Amino acid sequence: MNEIIKIENLTKDFGQGRGIFDVNLSIKRGEVFGLVGINGSGKTTIMRHLMGFLHPDKGRSQIMDGDCWHHSAELKKYVGYIPGEISFPDVRTGVDFLKLQADYMGLRSMNDANELIESLNLDPTAKLKRMSKGMKQKTAIVNAFMCDSDILLLDEATTGLDPLMQKSFTEIIKKEKRKGKTIFMSSHMFDEMESTCDRVAFLKDGRIIHVVDMKTILGNEKSKEYKIEFNKESDYLAFLTKDFDITRQKDEYNQVTIRIPDTHSDRLFRVLSSMDVRFISHMPYTLEMCFKEVYNNANNTEVA
């Protein structure tokens, strides 16, 4: 049972083009899988199907071979969840809330919870009503992770966290990943996904338009982009004639950006060796760049 989350032709039509349409995803055990898309692209709808809150119009979603709708209650033994919208039940403090949830889950030891509270620097004795958005989010994070669940569904888990805490969150994700947990997270923070995810799916208007394997980007790409700036205009102009794949150029700075396959790197250096180069820098292909490219392409094909 290597395939732990399986989504097949999942469709939920809310009308007026909203909803999700023919979503197919397969997530392996131990994988950290990301879901990105602009607001309203259907991230939360997919999460809600996995949680068994929504009944699909067509298709189905499964967790560990159990249907997410029919077996939703049993599956919760293995699933930790952070809802997209944080709204706590009617209890006084963070501690009261975590105890209540531990009670529901039949959790005996709060050791994991205390460890998480420490790493997130949270004061759980504060009143829930007085908590800032970030504190509430941290409380929800502790709740999702404290039961040591095998599968984690995180719907925009870092909204409201300051950058430092987002780092701590990333550390928590990495730690859980090392423990072999399967994590399915939606976010619109690209750097957070870059540092944690194995694969990322792009969602647009309820459809998966692309699934990117993180191994193929972030400096691992086979063909890299370099930005080169020359001290002399003559060198710059000479370089332009050398038949490189130029992606951008800025004449006023004598600056050019080229894309070149790794196998041709030596040719670049031979050409540059005779020139007066001010700097050369590698432009890593980030998730964000990839996303924008795919998104815009999807737009263009629609127009055409």
> Residues interacting with another protein, by CB under 8 A?
48, 51-55, 72-74, 76-77, 79-81, 83, 85-91, 97, 100-101, 103-105, 143
Give min distance, CB of 199 to another protein, in A. Answer: 25
Give min distance, CB of 271 to another protein, in A. Answer: 59
Tally Cβ neighbours within 10 Å of residue 22.
Answer: 13
Nearer to another protein, 99 or 188 (CB): 99
Bridge partner list, 248: 257
The number of CA neighbours under 13 Å toward the Cβ of 42 is 25
Residues 136, 167 contacting (CB under 8 angstroms): no
Give min distance, CB of 84 to another protein, in A. Answer: 9
Nearer to another protein, 10 or 214 (CB): 10
Nearer to another protein, 102 or 258 (CB): 102
Residues 193, 223 contacting (CB under 8 angstroms): no
Residues 32, 173 contacting (CB under 8 angstroms): yes
Give min distance, CB of 93 to another protein, in A. Answer: 13
Nearer to another protein, 50 or 212 (CB): 50
Interatomic CA distance for residues 58 and 80, integer angstroms: 25
Nearer to another protein, 57 or 293 (CB): 57
Give min distance, CB of 143 to another protein, in A. Answer: 7
Nearer to another protein, 48 or 177 (CB): 48
Alpha helices in the chain (DSSP H): 43-50, 72-75, 94-105, 111-119, 133-145, 163-178, 190-196, 233-240, 265-273, 287-303
Residues 258, 245 contacting (CB under 8 angstroms): yes
Q: For helices 111-119 and 133-145, what crossing angle results, to 10°?
A: 140
Give min distance, CB of 162 to another protein, in A. Answer: 24
- Structure-derived torsion over alpha carbons of residues 15, 17, 18, 22, reported in degrees to the nearest 10: 100
Give min distance, CB of 58 to another protein, in A. Answer: 14
Nearer to another protein, 72 or 159 (CB): 72
- Report in angstroms the alpha-carbon separations of 234 from 109, 230, 300: 71, 9, 38
Nearest residue to 287 (alpha-carbon basis) of 227, 223, 198: 198
Nearer to another protein, 81 or 226 (CB): 81
Give min distance, CB of 103 to another protein, in A. Answer: 4
For strand 255-261 and strand 245-250, is the pairing parallel, antiparallel, or unpaired?
A: antiparallel
For strand 3-15 and strand 18-28, is the pairing parallel, antiparallel, or unpaired?
A: antiparallel
